[in-house]
A and B are shown apart, each in its own frame.
Chain A
Amino acid sequence: MDTWLIIEDILRKEGIARQHLNSYNEFIERGIQSIVDEIGSVEIESLTNPYKIRFGRVKLGTPRVVEIDGSVSNILPLEGRLRNMSYVAPIHLEMVVEENGIVREQQTQHVGDLPVMVRSDLCALSKMTEQQLIDVGDDPNDPGGYFIVNGSERVIVGLEDLSPNKIIVDMEKTGGNEVFKSKIYSSIVGYRAKLEISMKKDGAINIKLPSSPVELPLVIIMKALGIETDKDIANAISSHSEIQDLLEVSFEKATEVHTVQEALVYIGNRVAHGMVEEYRLRKAESLLDWGLLPHLGRTPNERYDKSMFLGEAVSKLLELKLGWIDPDDKDHYGNKVIKFAGQMIADLFRTAFRNLIRDMKYQLERTGQRRGMNVVGAAIRPGIITDKLRNAIATGNWGRGKVGVTQLLDRTNYLSTLSHLRRIQSPLSRSQPNFEARDLHATHFGRICPNETPEGSNCGLVKNIALSAIISVSSSASEVIERLTELGVKTTKEADQTTRADGCRIFVDGRFLGYVLDGEGLVNQFRQQRRQGNIHPHVSISYVRPKNEKAVGRIYVDVAAGRVLRPLLIVEGGQPLLTDETIQRIAKGELSWKDLIQMGVMDLVDANEEENCYVTIDQKSLNRDHTHMEVYPSAIFGVTASMIPYPEHNQSPRNTYESAMAKQSLGFPAPTYGYNTLVRQHLLVYPQPSLVATKSTPLLNLDQRPTGQNAIVAVLSYEGYNIEDAIIVNKAAIDRGFARSFFYRLYEGEAKQYLGGMKDNFEIPSAESNIRGYRGEKYYRLIESDGVVMHESVVSGGDVVIGRTSPPRFMEEYKEFEIKGPYRRDTSIAVRPSETGTVDAVFMTQNIEGGQLFKVRVRDMRVPEIGDKFASRHGQKGVVGLVVDQEDMPYTEDGIVPDVIINPHAFPSRMTVGQFIESMAGKAAALTGHPIDGSAFTGEGPEDIGTILKKFGFNSTGKEVMYDGRTGRKYAVEIFIGVVYYQKLHHMVADKIHARARGQVQMLTKQPTEGRARGGGLRFGEMERDCLIAYGAAMVLKDRLLDEADKTKIHVCEKCGLIAFHDIRQRKYVCRIDGEQSQISTVSIAYAFKLLLQEMMSLNIAPRLLVKDKV
């Protein structure tokens, strides 16, 4: 049964960036409207004519640009990228002016621009066919899911978050004391209130709320919520006597409070101490309605529900205290949700829209008298929303300290783009250890890639979703509640005493719904209903059976968006319900994966529901107890890990290294390279799909967007030039185009307009016309009269590609004696020092301000050379150590000469056996002429490959007799040789080589500049200094650190030790303190030291140099 077809169908139909697109589409379809509806209307309070503006429907236009002359035209993402514009659509809002409830005027107003996610429902590209996409110049395989802001592509990385409204119980040890805690992150849209119930050593239960400065006793809160008698309070928590016994201390602490009113007064006294009574009471009421569990409602009507929920939270806390249940696991993926672009934009839009309304209200109230739609229209400043959204996406600054929310889309190669779009970030600080949060958790299985995570500070915090993961979309809770009541759930109000005491408690979407006696039966029936299509497939239900039978069972029904689901095949009676025939119909395209859910043969389960499942990996190990079967084992990997062949034969960290490295490999990122305007880009000239592919290779289009080449690789040492992971490369292979790539760099120049009507000019700066910063004629030789270089000119460091002059920075007053007239500055854009190339493309366009914009792309052919970095797909990286003529390379009896020789020492400690198998498989693939499947767990194994090799007359182990090319002598041992896919990584010597003899220095410290781009010096650091001291080479030390560095002479007063200054009238150095008595002497010190002395002096410290003669 080829169940891979299901995974394939899911990813092909849903696309790689489905999570982003679903989330964004949900926002534009419903989210944006509901945010507007939350506000609904605004009252314009004026003394004479109060009126009201009601908001109606939100309509989103098509992506468009408003040019400087006011003309409007629809645009595609490509134009945004090219012209440094944002890809945005106008938001139109229906506004109704009402006076005393009578509709006066109604009109649709433009309230701002919404950034459009590429390939979302709002994007013009989403409606195009493949051919149309090609015709308009876009890549049909581009996954979309990102934004274009100011010409750059930005991704909103998925943000992992604790699931809201869940009761999490935990035990904390603080200084030997056990503190039991029950925490609820009560969240409603745009607002979150953390509730913490704790039970300390004394046994009293207290509640901590964000709106209260002090902890409040549980019993008093319960009384304030309307449950007055102690008996009712105890029953609201639990009817079990052992639990009720634990409440004694809490009741004792609240003996003086009896009624709701008294409780409110008590709370008011604590929350708003020292205020007037009326205010205190109001504060207490608002604490109950807004501060306490706001997700259950924010009016006094929901106080009963809140008390029941609170009771439940306390019950769970006490069950933990009694040891009936275990503490909740915060890292369990059932307790996590992921927020994607839609939710993030919604947060932002809410604040922006509120700001806009506030601003509008302020303006209308200030202008006073005049009314009507014209005035309202004039009071709307669409910039508030437009700028807020654009700036947030452009900078990743989401406000409230959230930074780095958006990132520049990784376009190194196609794979890195896909991986970037499936990345998720944890909000946990990377500076703290958070060991458990970084660990791979069992519930990540099939949801989060086990291998793909960065090394170092972000390890385990930045994750990638697995191929099989499906992110839930939100569905209606009320429908689910309806189903549940039909199935016999008694709500908290209906339930009788026995149901309450013995029944399972049911939570739906963070609310305590009620009880049911047969919990397990309900769960089963609910699942049956879902499989019949009566309930949304993303709704999950899980039954938590306590480890102690005295505790009650709990059922959680979750409808929230952002839970990570995974498909599992349903097993009944030891047989999967999925048949071969159904699979065949999927293969033929008659059925879609969604039909499998409708047919009831496949479930989408979240991590909580999976706790109720017994899942087998394959049919071989299936027994009658199993409830589910994996769809396809290798779908547990993410995009990068799934392209590693035979990963199950590698040591696990090697797969992690490769997952990181694959994103640095050069390939064929997109067929649109002719008009891409990325600042840096690489292109591999002859990319090849790998001979040993995995099942995901065609699925992820990696056969059409490859990232490497199949190299013939021999494992042997060669004259020591491949020690320490270096590789030997065949010169003839390089001559024939192996690993040849192009590097593109974009230079950009725009003409700005300045105050006073002056502007930048594109021209050839001329030596005659008084231009400051004139570089010299030879640097401008390549530019033409329009100021831009010619296409295909060969350029090198310093050559001007865009000639531009600008007006003076500051307008100086007219100097009468200045011979030269007003000057202009040379602000030309030149090729970076240490880079060369050929002008590949010149784009001339206009930016959004109407200024002329030039983009010049320079390409540079990179032929592999010593020092360039390469890697196989098994975390085996190395730099080229030597390029060897073909005649000197080893050869086999068939005359096969390797392209690459790697050192055998690369293997024993790293145990990347997968590379050996890949090598043999690659050889077999070359011999048969068919690619070989190296997918994890299911690929063609080493035995089968050995058989193929044998059939073609080769040794089944992949080893061969080889001869030394230099001597013609046979090697004493057989050499392992085969075909391995090699990736050229973007770290090339050409970008790194650097040396300096003399060069520029910094202005402030007179020390050499830093960094290659500025021709910087190489630091002679402390440890290097230590070497010279230890060696006793004092003169070398002085020479390096003083004479040939920032040597200066200063003048010191011998008497006071302070620096003397030069008096121009006396023509000598004088000391301000000692005057005539001073004896000034000259001292040679480092300029940096002089600077230190002066900086200290500026801090009112008197550094004194005590000078005396050398003896």
Chain B
Amino acid sequence: MAIDEVVILENSSVLYDELMAHRLGLLPLKTDLERYILPEQCDCRSPLGCPKCRVLLVLDAQARDRVVTIYSGELVSEDKEVIPISDKIPIVKLATGQKVKLEAYAKLGRGKDHAKWQPVSASVLTETGKEDEFELYIESVGSLTAPTILSKAAEILHDKLNQFATAKGLA
């Protein structure tokens, strides 16, 4: 999951709203594929989604008397399982008196649409030298475990092949 919609209630930081949203989007979130569905498969039709297809994270930070760096750990999620993979990712540095208050909506999505939904940081398919044998190496960013990524990918591929077969009348 990755943050896809951000409602900014207050932002007096040096980062513009669109940049703040961009940075939040790039935070990798721990994801449970069983509990959430893709927004386009959800029947809620709401632009900000429903509990089935999104997670709300809230950030309310302020620098009172000194310059502070706001880290990913300060995002409060409505789902304890869906949190940034690390709480040490810097989001923004606030000077005294600056304040950020926002609601971020994390959703499932595909890496094809935006790199923030890529579950892997490296995915390498190499030739082994033997005919028709390949070696696949994947490295997770932490949102999903490597086995989950692989099985989910296989599942999606399988579904696509089935769809293709159905469409062509092969099944």
User: A-side interface residues toward B, CB under 8 Å?
Assistant: 674, 685, 731-733, 735-737, 740, 742, 792, 838, 840, 859, 861, 885-887, 891-896, 963, 968-970
Instruction: Sample 6 A-B pairs with CB under 8 A, ordered by A number.
Output: A736-B26, A740-B22, A859-B16, A893-B126, A895-B137, A970-B127
| Pairwise interchain contact A674-B18, C-beta atoms closer than 8 A | no
- Taking the complex as formed, is B162 at the interface, i.e. its CB lies under 8 A from any CB of chain A? no
| Pairwise interchain contact B124-A894, C-beta atoms closer than 8 A | yes
Q: Could you list 17 further interchain pairs (A-B, Cβ under 8 angstroms) beyond the known A674-B14, A735-B115, A737-B22? A: A732-B111, A735-B116, A736-B115, A740-B22, A792-B17, A838-B16, A840-B16, A861-B16, A885-B112, A886-B115, A887-B112, A891-B123, A892-B124, A893-B126, A895-B122, A968-B127, A970-B127
Task: Report A-chain residues with C-beta under 8 Å of the C-beta of B14.
Answer: 674
Question: Considering the complex, which residues of chain B in the window 110-131 have a beta carbon less than 8 Å from any beta carbon of chain A?
Answer: 111-112, 114-116, 118, 121-127
Measured CB to CB, the nearest residue on chain A to B22 is A737
Instruction: Tell which of A674, A840, A895, A969 touches B123, judged by Cβ atoms closer than 8 Å.
Output: A895
| Pairwise interchain contact B126-A963, C-beta atoms closer than 8 A | yes
Measured CB to CB, the nearest residue on chain B to A792 is B17
Task: Report A-chain residues with C-beta under 8 Å of the C-beta of B118.
Answer: 732, 886
CA distance A892 to B124 in the complex (A): 8
- Output the least CB separation between B158 and chain A (Å): 18
The 3 closest A-B pairs by CB, nearest first: A895-B122, A735-B115, A732-B115
- Taking the complex as formed, is B78 at the interface, i.e. its CB lies under 8 A from any CB of chain A? no
Instruction: Tell which of B17, B26, B115, B127 touches A969, judged by Cβ atoms closer than 8 Å.
Output: B127
Measured CB to CB, the nearest residue on chain A to B14 is A674
Interface-centre pick from B18, B19, B115, B139 (highest chain A CB count, 10 A): B115
| Pairwise interchain contact B122-A894, C-beta atoms closer than 8 A | yes
| Pairwise interchain contact B19-A968, C-beta atoms closer than 8 A | no
- Interface residue SS majority, chain A: mixed
- Output the least CB separation between B129 and chain A (Å): 10
Measured CB to CB, the nearest residue on chain B to A891 is B124
CA distance A735 to B23 in the complex (A): 10
- Interface residue SS majority, chain B: mixed
Task: Report B-chain residues with C-beta under 8 Å of the C-beta of A840.
Answer: 16
| Pairwise interchain contact B125-A968, C-beta atoms closer than 8 A | yes
| Pairwise interchain contact A895-B124, C-beta atoms closer than 8 A | yes
- Output the least CB separation between A929 and chain B (Å): 18
| Pairwise interchain contact A731-B115, C-beta atoms closer than 8 A | yes
Instruction: Tell which of A731, A732, A963 touches B125, judged by Cβ atoms closer than 8 Å.
Output: A963
Task: Report A-chain residues with C-beta under 8 Å of the C-beta of B18.
Answer: 838, 861
- Output the least CB separation between A675 and chain B (Å): 12
- Output the least CB separation between A793 and chain B (Å): 12
Task: Report A-chain residues with C-beta under 8 Å of the C-beta of B16.
Answer: 742, 838, 840, 859, 861
- Taking the complex as formed, is B164 at the interface, i.e. its CB lies under 8 A from any CB of chain A? no
Task: Report B-chain residues with C-beta under 8 Å of the C-beta of A887.
Answer: 111-112
Task: Report B-chain residues with C-beta under 8 Å of the C-beta of A859.
Answer: 16
Task: Report A-chain residues with C-beta under 8 Å of the C-beta of B126.
Answer: 893, 963, 970
| Pairwise interchain contact A895-B139, C-beta atoms closer than 8 A | yes
- Output the least CB separation between B131 and chain A (Å): 13
Measured CB to CB, the nearest residue on chain A to B15 is A685
CA distance A859 to B124 in the complex (A): 40
- Output the least CB separation between A351 and chain B (Å): 47
Task: Report A-chain residues with C-beta under 8 Å of the C-beta of B121.
Answer: 895
- Output the least CB separation between B2 and chain A (Å): 11
Task: Report B-chain residues with C-beta under 8 Å of the C-beta of A896.
Answer: 122
Task: Report A-chain residues with C-beta under 8 Å of the C-beta of B137.
Answer: 895
CA distance A733 to B114 in the complex (A): 10
Task: Report A-chain residues with C-beta under 8 Å of the C-beta of B22.
Answer: 737, 740
| Pairwise interchain contact B115-A893, C-beta atoms closer than 8 A | no
CA distance A354 to B19 in the complex (A): 57
Measured CB to CB, the nearest residue on chain B to A885 is B112
Question: Considering the complex, which residues of chain B in the window 39-71 have a beta carbon less than 8 Å from any beta carbon of chain A?
Answer: none
CA distance A891 to B17 in the complex (A): 34
If the complex has contacts A894-B122, A894-B124, A895-B123, are A685 and B114 also in contact, measured as CB distance less than 8 A? no
Interface-centre pick from B17, B127, B139 (highest chain A CB count, 10 A): B127
CA distance A968 to B19 in the complex (A): 35
Task: Report B-chain residues with C-beta under 8 Å of the C-beta of A685.
Answer: 19
- Output the least CB separation between A864 and chain B (Å): 14
- Output the least CB separation between A1018 and chain B (Å): 34
Task: Report B-chain residues with C-beta under 8 Å of the C-beta of A963.
Answer: 124-127
Measured CB to CB, the nearest residue on chain A to B26 is A736
CA distance A838 to B16 in the complex (A): 10
Task: Report A-chain residues with C-beta under 8 Å of the C-beta of B17.
Answer: 792
CA distance A861 to B26 in the complex (A): 17
Task: Report B-chain residues with C-beta under 8 Å of the C-beta of A893.
Answer: 124, 126
CA distance A321 to B2 in the complex (A): 86
| Pairwise interchain contact B125-A735, C-beta atoms closer than 8 A | no
Task: Report B-chain residues with C-beta under 8 Å of the C-beta of A674.
Answer: 14
CA distance A454 to B53 in the complex (A): 58
- Output the least CB separation between A736 and chain B (Å): 5
CA distance A885 to B14 in the complex (A): 31
CA distance A861 to B20 in the complex (A): 13
Q: How does the 8 Å CB contact mask read for B59-88 relative to A, with 1 for contact and 0 for none? A: 000000000000000000000000000000
Interface-centre pick from A735, A737, A740, A891 (highest chain B CB count, 10 A): A735
CA distance A742 to B16 in the complex (A): 10
Measured CB to CB, the nearest residue on chain B to A736 is B115
Measured CB to CB, the nearest residue on chain B to A742 is B16
CA distance A1064 to B137 in the complex (A): 90
Measured CB to CB, the nearest residue on chain B to A732 is B115
CA distance A737 to B145 in the complex (A): 25
Task: Report A-chain residues with C-beta under 8 Å of the C-beta of B125.
Answer: 963, 968
CA distance A859 to B15 in the complex (A): 13
